[in-house]
Structure 1
Amino acid sequence: MASVVGIMNERLFESFLVNHILCHMAGLWRSYQALMAKHPWTLQIITAGSLVGVGDVISQQLIERRGLANHSARRTTKMMSIGFFFVGPVVGGWYKVLDKLVTGGTKSAALKKMLVDQVGFAPCFLGAFLGISGALNGLTVEENVAKLKRDYMDALISNYYLWPPVQIANFYFIPLHHRLAVVQIVAVAWNSYLSWKANKMKRAAVSSMKPVPLVLLITSVLLTTHVPLSTCRPRDLSLVNDQLDDVLLNRAGDDA
């Protein structure tokens, strides 16, 4: 009898805890909505910069496996500054321009926006991002050009693993003032990859290396945060995670 009462109390506590967390999350979302209504541009930029910083933290801790003792706060600060002063204003402004270039909220319009975004904007943005990151890391013009030649196509191919389907959904379902935030939330995994790519120094045997599929990086983040992928079996996820570890460890060895 006592064990039954204990189980009931435990379940009641779990239910209370979940409801309490959900209430707080709902309150935070309402506060975010209120701030967005008052200061949409400022909040979009702050959100973008913060999430670029989160991406760098994930890059250093999960991809490069630096550990807290060797975490570079200076590098995270640099990446956040790129988010605040480049990613936020440029991407947020681009979405406003794109909404005027391609009007309407139909599926066809969403597809056109995705094509314009991925064919016209993404290649330019990616090159500028890597170039600015290199300049902040102290690279000379010659070194920066060499780095772009080495890494640009690799990053662009990885871009196309992730962004086309995300952007179609974003342009079709999400209001304009929330698109940058939605993209940056999805982009935590992408920012991790970009931060890793932007801060790589030397690589051995460059010609033999293949781009890392973004789906593996996203899977790694989801597994680390214990978010289930309902379409995959546990043994499939374990296999993917093992493969990701092998790829990243090999690349870390190349960087050393």
Structure 2
Amino acid sequence: MQTAAASFFRTEVIRRCRQFGKVAFRKYLLVTNATISLGLSGVGDILQQNYEVLQKKQEKWDPERTKNMALTGLPVGVICHLWYNFLDHRMPGRTVKRVIQKVVVDQILFSPICISVFFITLGFLEHSKPAKVKKEIVQKGWMLYAAEWMIWPPAQVINFYWLPTRYRVLYDNTISLGYDVYTSYIKHEVPLEDDDEEEDS
């Protein structure tokens, strides 16, 4: 009796998970991708802040900072969703040559856009002056871009070769959790050079 009940429970859980997956990753894919990006961007900042607290670089967790970092995930999640759909439509196929082409295009064209959107969104949320946002993109953006070249080409080979389009943003965000920690560090711990004029009013 107990075995039958346990088997029924497992079957029901699996059925509901599959049903949820179909809804989340098909019918409401854009919402799912934006939500995943928002959530994991926030988690990355929480991890970085906890490290900073342990290192005595700050006294306690700053929820406002985590909120802003999480909110950057919304536009990034949306543009990643649109980008992958566009890329797979314009460059269909899973041959080795096609996958390499996608990786190169993704790194050269899309990565700088994604990094810029991150800084622009944070600048808006923090009420920063446009000059400061521009300076952050120039001075800090290259650090993030250099790190991306170490992480994303091999990761994107897997993404473009094996995964369906609907799972690309989920995969991206799972892989990028460690990168999100680094992003938070670059944004909040690396000072701008000659930043006195660009301080927020």
> Is 1:70 aligned with 2:48?
no
Structure 1 residues 26-105: aligned runs within 5 Å: 30=18, 32-35=20-23, 36-62=25-51, 65=54, 70-84=60-74, 86-105=75-94
The verdict on how the C-alpha distance between 1:83 and 1:66 changes in structure 2, with shifts beyond 3 A counting, is farther
- Return the letter of the residue paired with 1:115: V
1:176 equivalent in structure 2: 165
- Match for 2:151 among 158, 162, 174? 162
Displacement of 1:63 in angstroms is: 5.3
Displacement of 1:196 in angstroms is: 2.0
The verdict on how the C-alpha distance between 1:32 and 1:49 changes in structure 2, with shifts beyond 3 A counting, is farther
- Return the letter of the residue paired with 1:78: N
- Superposition TM-score, scaled by structure 1 size: 0.63
Distance 2:53 2:20 in 1: 32
Question: Over alpha carbons, which structure has the higher Rg?
Answer: 1
2:187 equivalent in structure 1: 198
Q: Per-residue displacement from partner, 1:97-117 (whole Å, max 9, x unpaired)?
A: 101121112222111111110
Displacement of 1:123 in angstroms is: 1.5
Distance 2:63 2:91 in 1: 41
Q: Per-residue displacement from partner, 1:47-105 (whole Å, max 9, x unpaired)?
A: 11111111111121135647897111111111121112x11111111000101121112
Distance 2:98 2:88 in 1: 10
Runs of 4+ in 1 over 4 A off after TM superposition: 25-29, 66-69
- Superposition TM-score, scaled by structure 2 size: 0.79
Displacement of 1:34 in angstroms is: 3.1
Structure 2 portions without partners, runs of 5+:
1-9, 195-201
Displacement of 1:136 in angstroms is: 2.2
Distance 1:145 1:93 in 2: 25
- Match for 2:128 among 124, 128, 139? 139
Q: In 2, are the aligned partners of 1:56 and 1:79 still within 8 Å (CA)? A: yes
Displacement of 1:194 in angstroms is: 1.3
Displacement of 1:32 in angstroms is: 4.5
- Return the letter of the residue paired with 2:161: Y
- Match for 1:151 among 140, 145, 150? 140
- Match for 1:112 among 74, 79, 101? 101
Distance 2:89 2:112 in 1: 21
1:186 equivalent in structure 2: 175
Distance 1:34 1:69 in 2: 44
- Return the letter of the residue paired with 1:168: V
Secondary structure of the 1:70 match is coil
Structure 1 residues 121-140: aligned runs within 5 Å: 121-140=110-129
1:15 equivalent in structure 2: none
Q: In 2, are the aligned partners of 1:137 and 1:199 still within 8 Å (CA)? A: no
Does 1 or 2 have the higher relative contact order (CA < 8 Å, sep 6+)?
Answer: 2
- Return the letter of the residue paired with 2:126: N
- Return the letter of the residue paired with 1:33: G
Distance 1:146 1:127 in 2: 11
